[in-house]
Structure 1
Amino acid sequence: MKILVMHQVPYRKIDYQRAIDHGRHDVTYVGHPHRMADLPDGLRCTRLVLDPDEDLVAGVCARTSPADGFEKVLALSEFGIAEACSVRRHLGIDGPAPEQVELVRDKVRMKEALAGSGLRHPRFVREPSRCRPLPWTGRTVLKPRQGASSEDVTVHETARDALGAYWKLPDPGAFQLEEHIDGDILHADGLVQDGRLVDLAVSRYVNKPVEYAAGTPLGSHQEPHSPEQRAFAQRVVTALGIEEGSLHLEFFETADGERVFLEVANRVGGAAVVPLHEQHTGVHLPSHEIAVRLGLDRPATGRPSGRYHGWLAFPGHHLPEGTPAAITVPDSVRTHPCADRVHTLAPGRAAPAHVTYQEWEVPVFIEASHTDAGQLRRFLEECARTVTVDAGPQPAAERRVAA
């Protein structure tokens, strides 16, 4: 099979070799230089490197043609699945329609598509009027219609405040307003094949994703999932017409136990979702997704750990850019029975200025597990309270400029 891979997710997150026999198949990777640089040196493949600032679709189309004989296009990034529709059309390859992909990318369209499904979601307004108030008055969320990692998401105490912020945006049409829902946020991760959930794990967040952008640590931990939660996830899959691939669904659970849809993505979750899902279930989600999308046999499932797994990331993007992080991790955290791995940035290294959950980029990243989900949660909450990440001393050159 001749396969074109739009390479956007760090290779170590996907590990294409686990699903694709590069000796048997003719594989071409295409992407921007920083991402192509992480392909293994000995990987048998063709490499098409775009210019650093080149448009993804235009660059791929300029370097490929229907005569190349590609049979499949793989795009596993949140920011590539829509673009892959254009590439497939250019190459004459069948695939999901842009309208279908929009349902798992556009936060307005996905909620509109749930109409009549019986699934509750936050009330929302896609295009507010300057002449009318919102149909609710309390706390309100302003968020991009397309985005990830809670970037540019803000929570306002009143609907009026949120409307004021909306009209001040340079491109308000790229944003939406929705009512704030009180409750825990959970994420369901799994695999869809022929429109049916064939694998699922449910995790509960420690702190809220929107708080991470402001500098609060964020994590999650797996817990036993109920038949009702699985049924909820399947109803979302069915209502949105998701036919295949990984599922990353976020939803609320309110104090009275009601489940409320938040948003969904047809790709693997970020942070440590992939390795911890594999430890808990034995399923390496990217490999199984690739097999399903290419029409190959799914890989063998490994042995589940018998434990619940979790992670906790401490951000550094809110620190002064270029300033090394001053990190304190108590011995009680490092030696705790739940702690599996504590990753910290090398001394003197600054965290990236952008929002990231990558364990090798954030100042502190903790992986933990326990046979009891409650014990695991208490440990992660203790870590969130006791581990500190502050701004360290400025580099000497910057101190001289400041002086």
Structure 2
Amino acid sequence: MSTVLFVYAKGGPPLGYALSRVAARSAVHLLALSTLPPTVAASAERRCASVRTATGPERGDLVSLIVSRAQAVGADAVITFSEYAVVAVAEACEKLGLAGAGASCALARDKRLMRRTWGRRGISQPRFRPVADERELHDAAAELRLPLLLKAAWSAGSTAHRIIRSAEEVPAAWQRAREVMAESAELGYAELHVADAGADFLVEEIVPGTAGGWFDQPGWGDYVSVEGVVVDGVFRPVCLSGRMPTVEPFTERAGITPAALPTDAQQRVVALAREAVDALGLENCGTHTEIKLGADGRMWVIETAARFGGAMTVPQIEEVFGLDLIGMLVDHLLGRPVTWPARALTPQEARGAAGSFVVLAVDGAGDAWPDRRRWDFPTVRDAVPLSAGSRLSVVAENSLPDGSPVPVYDPAAGANTMAALCLLSAADPETVLQDFRTLMDALPSVLPQAESHKETETDAETKTETKTETKTEKAEKDEKDGQCKAETVEARS
């Protein structure tokens, strides 16, 4: 039987879901670079031939650690689905002579290198400048067109994003972005291989996105993602996912599979994604490419990752298109034949639709809820009226326990201040979008109130403390036993 070394770190599809798909194809040895979620720790022990958690000094040379562990277990393939570990795993595969993302993987991780590569190819993207300190940020703000978006070069999940509307905002933006990267590192959401990656930033012009002219239904966000895979250096698009509008600055609120784009528009989006992926020279890996949509058919590539989309993107694809992308990639890395889609699949080929919704304490306009609330999925299940036939569930692995205070939303921290991740299945993407709008509007009134309190610290400090406290509560929760997949609690429609 073939053997796979699964390198786990935070981010990516839920561990339970991913692990079950890998284990169905091979013997699995788990190398954990982050603490295992309590909801799947017990089942991981049963599913895996071994589970090793790497902490302390041994993580200093991550590539050597992965190589030595792969050799010790006789791995025929090494895989990860975490943004924070893709570069280390790619380099380890190169040393081991195994199929992987390839030597250019860092181009799909460091946004500065990514943008420079695209610039040399003339690929449509926002104008940008790398910035290493506050002075360089001031210089860039004087050269580029305001407003600007400051972002960390190695971040994920919209962490440390700051909008700069005037030169006077540069010092505060620079300070807060660096603070958030340090806070994220403490929570385990940081690059694991490149030293001091949290200090690397770039700033870019905010292009004028619009969903108008692209979607027939109002309420869609102005960007999409092309989900795909690179197989022996050839990009194979799988499908498109759409979004709801982001929360300022650009925090994702919901992803919906498939995106309800007309066929001709989808083809043009895929063509641009192909240019972007091909330019990076990847070899064998999942891909997730985000593209901003503008007026009169204009498009800009925002970024590409050398891994599958995070949150529930991969489970959504399996539900609506019947493709187990994780299992298919494992088979390919092990040298087995795999039949990939001949082209990007369309909504007409989907079996319904599915979407993931991030619970944030802001309304549709991005304004904070009027008071503090406690997360409680049973209440949401019973009180929110969804469309006939729709099914709502909560992804326990990515959610706070029922009764936990919903963190105050911090624009700089992005998804770090989420309370829960929900999955919804419905007849079509338009219904998913409608139900998510209903859910978003209902949450601040149906969730139980948290105990009143007076904030005596800054909003940023309060948000960070809340996140840390609730993570501790989550770790202390009894481990749930069950199948190694995204554990959900089904709701009434």
Fold conserved (TM > 0.5)?
A: yes
Instruction: Give the whole-Å Cα distance in 2 for the aligned partners of 1:258 and 1:368.
Output: 31
Which residue pairs with 2:35 in the alignment? 34
Aligned match for 1:152, one of 148, 160, 163: 160
The reply to whether residue 369 of structure 1 matches residue 426 of structure 2 is yes
Question: Compared with structure 1, are the counterparts of its residues 136 and 149 closer, same or farther at alpha carbon in structure 2 (3 Å cutoff)?
Answer: same
- Give 5+ residue unaligned stretches, structure 2: 179-195, 210-221, 342-348, 363-367, 456-493
Q: Structure 2: which amino acid aligns with 1:13? A: Y
Q: Which of the pair is proportionally richer in strand? A: 1
Is 1:308 the counterpart of 2:353? The answer is yes
CA contact (8 A) 1:82 1:102 kept: yes
1:387 paired with 2:443, answer yes
Distance in 2, matches of 1:235 and 1:14, equals 29
Spell out the pairing of 1:113-192 with structure 2 (5 A cutoff).
113-127=117-131, 128=136, 133-158=141-166, 161-162=169-170, 165-166=173-174, 173-183=199-209, 184-192=222-230
What TM-score results when the alignment is normalised by the length of structure 2?
A: 0.66
CA separation in 2, counterparts of 1:281 and 1:56? Answer: 41
User: Is 1:43 the counterpart of 2:47 in the alignment?
Assistant: yes
* Superposition deviation, residue 255 in structure 1: 2.0
Name the counterpart of 2:297.
Answer: 257
* Equivalent residue runs for 1:242-391 within 5 Å: 242-298=282-338, 305-315=350-360, 324-325=374-375, 329=380, 333-337=384-388, 339-343=390-394, 347-350=402-405, 362-363=419-420, 365-371=422-428, 373-388=429-444
Partner of 1:401: none
Farther off after superposition, 241-250 or 254-263: 241-250
User: Once the two structures are superposed, what CA deviation does each residue of 1:299-351 show, in whole Å capped at 9, x if it has no partner?
Assistant: 899xx6532332322136999xx984378749684442263214386642345
- Provide, for residues 11-33 of structure 1, a one-character-per-residue CA deviation record: whole Å limited to 9, x for no partner: 223134456544xx5x4221147
Matches of 1:85 and 1:275 in 2, distance apart?
A: 24
Structure 1: how far apart are the matches of 2:113 and 2:295?
Answer: 27
What is the distance in 2 between the residues matched to 1:4 and 1:326? 36
Change (3 A) 1:281 1:124: same
AA in 2 matched with 1:78: E
- CA–CA separation in structure 2 for the residues paired with 1:391 and 1:60: 46
- What runs of 5+ residues in structure 1 fail to find an aligned partner? 399-403
Secondary structure of the structure 2 residue equivalent to 1:152:
coil
Q: Tell me the amino acid that sits aligned with residue 143 of structure 1.
A: K
CA change 1:379–1:63 in 2 (3 A) is same
Aligned pair count reads 385
Structure 1 CA distance for aligned equivalents of residues 236 and 61 of structure 2: 32
Q: Give the % identical residues.
A: 19
Find the aligned partners of 2:376 and 2:203 in 1 and give their Cα distance. 37
Letter in 1 for 2:450: P
Could you say which residue in structure 2 is the equivalent of 1:109? 113
Separation (CA, whole Å) in 2 of partners of 1:55 and 1:153? 28
Q: CA deviation at 1:34?
A: 2.2
Contact 1:249 1:265 in 2 (8 A): yes
Q: Which has the higher contact order (CA 8 A, sep 6+)?
A: 2
Contact 2:375–2:419 (CA under 8 A) maintained in structure 1? no
CA-based RMSD: 4.1
For 1:138, what is the secondary structure of its paired residue?
A: coil
Q: Deviations over 1:158-207 (max 9, x none)?
A: 36634763378658951111001121121111222233333421122102
The structure with the largest helix share of the pair is 2
